Amino acid sequence: MLDLRRLRLLRELHERGTIAAVADALQFTPSAVSQQLAVLERETGVALIARAGRGVRLTDAALVLVEHADALLTRAAEAEADLAAASGEVAGRARIATFQSAALHIALPAIETLAGTAPRLRCEVVEAEPESALPALALGDHDLVLADEWEHQPRGLPRGVERHDLLRDPVRIVLPARHRLAREHRETVPLTSLADAHWTAGHEELGWDEMTRWTCRAHGGFDPDIRHRTNDAIVTLGLVARGLTVALLPGLPLLGAPRGVAVRAIADADVRRTVFAATRAADAARPSTGALLGAAREAAARIEEL
Quick check: 210 and 231 in contact, CB under 8 A? no
Cα–Cα dist 275/300, whole Å: 9
* Residue count, binding to DNA (CB under 7 A): 26
Distance, in Å, from the CA atom of 275 to the CA atom of 273, rounded to the nearest integer, reads: 6
Among 4, 25, 29, 75, binds DNA (CB under 7 A): 29
Residue type, 161: V
- Please select the residue that binds DNA; options are 14, 30, 230, 294, rule is CB under 7 A: 30
Select the residue interacting with DNA from 2, 4, 25, 39 (CB under 7 A): 39
Burial bucket for residue 267 (CB in 10 Å: 0-12, 13-18, 19+): middle
Contacts 24+ apart (CB under 8 A), 30-35: 33/9
Q: Determine the Cα–Cα distance for residues 28 and 31; give it in Å rounded to an integer.
A: 8
Q: CB 102 → DNA: shortest distance, Å?
A: 27
Among 1, 51, 87, 259, indicate the residue that binds DNA (CB under 7 A).
51
**Would you count residue 137 as binding a copy of itself (CB under 8 A)?**
no
- Residue 76 to residue 128: CA distance in whole angstroms: 39
Q: Which parts of 34-109 are beta strand (E)?
A: 49-52, 55-58, 92-98
> Which of a copy of itself, DNA, none binds 8 (CB below 5-8 Å, type-dependent)?
a copy of itself
User: Which listed option, a copy of itself, DNA, none, makes contact with residue 18 (CB within 5 to 8 Å by class)?
Assistant: DNA
| Interface segment toward DNA; rule CB under 7 A; list 53-61, 96-104, 252-260, 288-296 | 53-61
Q: Which of 130, 256, 239 is nearest to 226 (CA)?
A: 239
Work out how close the CB of 59 gets to a copy of itself at its nearest, in angstroms, rounded to a whole number. 7
Residue ranges in 280-299 that form contacts with a copy of itself under rule CB under 8 A: 280, 282, 286-288
Instruction: Kindly list the residues in this chain that would bind a copy of itself in the complex (CB under 8 A).
Output: 1-5, 8, 44-47, 50-53, 57, 59-61, 63-65, 68-69, 71-72, 75-76, 78-80, 82-84, 86-87, 89-93, 120, 140, 160, 280, 282, 286-288
